[in-house]
Structure 1
Amino acid sequence: MELPGRRGEALLGELETRVRAVVRASSWWERHGVDCAILALSLLALPAGFLCLRSGNVLVFALGIIILGVCHYTLTVKGSHLATHGALTESKRWSKIWALFFVEVCTAFTAEYANYGHVKMHHAYTNVLGLGDSSTWRLPYLNRYVYMFLAPFLIPIVTPLVAVERLRKMEPAVALRSLGLISLGLCSHYWLLMNVSGCTSPGSALACMFITRSLLAHPYLHVNIFQHIGLPMFSLDTKPQRIHMMSLGVLNLPRLPVLDWAFGHSIISCHVEHHLFPRLSDNMCLKVKPVVSQFLQEKQLPYNEDSYLARFRLFLSRYEEFMVQAPPITELVGLQ
């Protein structure tokens, strides 16, 4: 009789073989080029965004805010996510450089804690209570409407503050580097608004910084809770094998053009694929999606998908259960 653990390892091995064949048959452009091009275009679009803010025309000014906001989230969410996983390049040295640029300069967070919290905890212990269960996104003292509609505005303010708090726990040299890169990013953004966009006062420059950095904060917060919270949760002692853990505890949202561009496929429509193969780029996650979904369905494993609106309604109606009360541990007899 085959042991459940060995069956899970065999299933994952079979899936890895199929996915590896797709990756090997793919060009550099498919593996890395498409996503690098999106990030490069976002960087190249920044001057246009800053210059649009000089205009007295309301529509042109609004266009500048949209350009800067979308570019900001493309660099900070998509760029940071791919760089943290080493999915932008196969060079470890350049992966480190890109992580410092996208996470610390662009996002105003620390690369070390981004890697620890996301890669080493969330991915290694997906939906395991107390470890990788997305509990950092749960704020039980907020009611559902404040959390879903107002709390996202705090993200651009809280992010650098949390980063500074984390610096106390880091080695002095690393902390100084992170503080310097975070300061460089924030000060550069402020300087460009004052000297290129023509903001007439520090207050107007800070207001523009806040607006652009919170433009997509609502979907960013929502997506982070929709994809895991409310799905099966596990204890460390009884967590299932990796393939079961990812198929049960991860959810894909449908393709949404703006969020696909700014957040990336691996965060939106290919989150299951990303958790199974975290080093794949967004474009490669999209390419292997049919292989992964077909395999899981063949093996009668869950492949969770739901719409953004359906998840939004679900969280509003069951907010107390998902975000306030401690989630119950799912018992999976025969899968441990």
Structure 2
Amino acid sequence: MCHVGDVWKQQLSATKKRFLCLRSENALVFSSGITVLGVCHYTLTVKGSHLATHGALTESKRWSKIWLLFFVEVCTAFTAEHATHGHVKMHHAYTNVVGLGDSSTWRLPCLNRYVYMFLAPLLLPVATPLVAVERLRKVELGTALRTLALVSLGLYSHYWLLLNVSGFKSPSSALGCMFVTRSLLAHPYLHVNIFQHIGLPMFSRDNKPRRIHMMSLGVLNLARLPVLDWAFGHSIISCHVEHHLFPRLSDNMCLKVKPVVSQFLREKQLPYNEDSYLARFRLFLQRYEEFMVQAPPITELVGLQ
């Protein structure tokens, strides 16, 4: 808990300074405030939420629940129950199993490659709370009211800080700043979610391989990128294979076990998928129809059963 508390205090201090930077009339200082506030937002909403859904922030069950509600509902404006179910119970349990954990929620066949890769990410700040509200139909009334209250608290707090700390003069300018900061890293966020699983081997529920093979074949690590490593975390960027094998490990531990995991998989003659962000981006532009529109083919797993 001490480590989490220290990180949270540092993040809070940095965020407060960036809210104050938005008061400046100097374009460079103002742009710096927008940039760092956006990065801080994604650190809370992506890195924080991801680790919280896995219970990787603390060993205490009570504090795990508190952090989950804070990072997912207050910061991200999404539902904690659906985040945990969709990511942990489906995606991790059935990684690349068609119809279950195959990342199909990220496919939008109605969009062409350029709209999807360049324009669709800008919809994420608006779509996320709207999807959360739609999902509330499937939960109990008490849970729905709690989620609505926490999501509203998070959105209004952001808005209030921009008006009262950053000094924005009108509601429209504050809302515009909220949109810019919440969409700052939306493009890499959407891209990373598809780059690391889609286009890799897909399995059927009745004929899926053993877990070690499933994670080795169906998960990919991206090369380290300083900004994304900080904002999204090592477990999402450069240690995604390790994260899928050991989902409750912290980011730092994923980084430490990375050499051991890569050596083990290669010794066992299993794939250890790695690629750069730019290479995957080019691949998806070239093969968008195959990866994102057509139904993924089931991989024949000869010799792996």
Q: TM-score, normalised by structure 1?
A: 0.89
Work out whether 1:144 is the aligned partner of 2:113: yes
What SS does the aligned partner of 2:207 have?
Answer: coil
CA distance in 2, matches of 1:96, 1:225: 28
8 A contact 1:36–1:88 mirrored in 2: no
CA distance in 2, matches of 1:275, 1:300: 19
Work out whether 1:58 is the aligned partner of 2:27: yes
Matching residue of 2:43: 74
8 A contact 1:105–1:185 mirrored in 2: yes
Matches within 5 A, 1:153-302: 153-302=122-271
Tell me how many residue pairs correspond in the alignment. Answer: 305
8 A contact 1:296–1:303 mirrored in 2: yes
CA distance in 2, matches of 1:161, 1:73: 18
CA distance in 1, matches of 2:251, 2:282: 27
How large is the Cα RMSD of the aligned pairs? 1.2
1:135 deviates by 0.3
CA distance in 1, matches of 2:232, 2:282: 22
Residues 118-139 of structure 1: CA deviation (Å, up to 9, x unaligned)? 0000000000000000001010
Residues 27-56 of structure 1: CA deviation (Å, up to 9, x unaligned)? x9xxx93x7654442222111111111111
Residues 180-229 of structure 1: CA deviation (Å, up to 9, x unaligned)? 00000000000111111111111101000000000000000000000000
Work out whether 1:304 is the aligned partner of 2:273: yes
Matching residue of 1:25: none
Structure 1 unaligned spans of 5+: 1-27
Instruction: Look up the equivalent residue of 1:327 and give its one-letter code.
Output: P
Structure 2 unaligned spans of 5+: none
1:154 deviates by 0.4
CA distance in 1, matches of 2:278, 2:17: 33
CA distance in 1, matches of 2:141, 2:104: 29
1:313 to 253, 273, 282: 282
Matches within 5 A, 1:86-105: 86-105=55-74
Instruction: Look up the equivalent residue of 2:59 and give its one-letter code.
Output: E
1:318 deviates by 0.2
Instruction: Look up the equivalent residue of 1:328 and give its one-letter code.
Output: P
Q: TM-score, normalised by structure 2?
A: 0.98
CA distance in 2, matches of 1:176, 1:84: 20
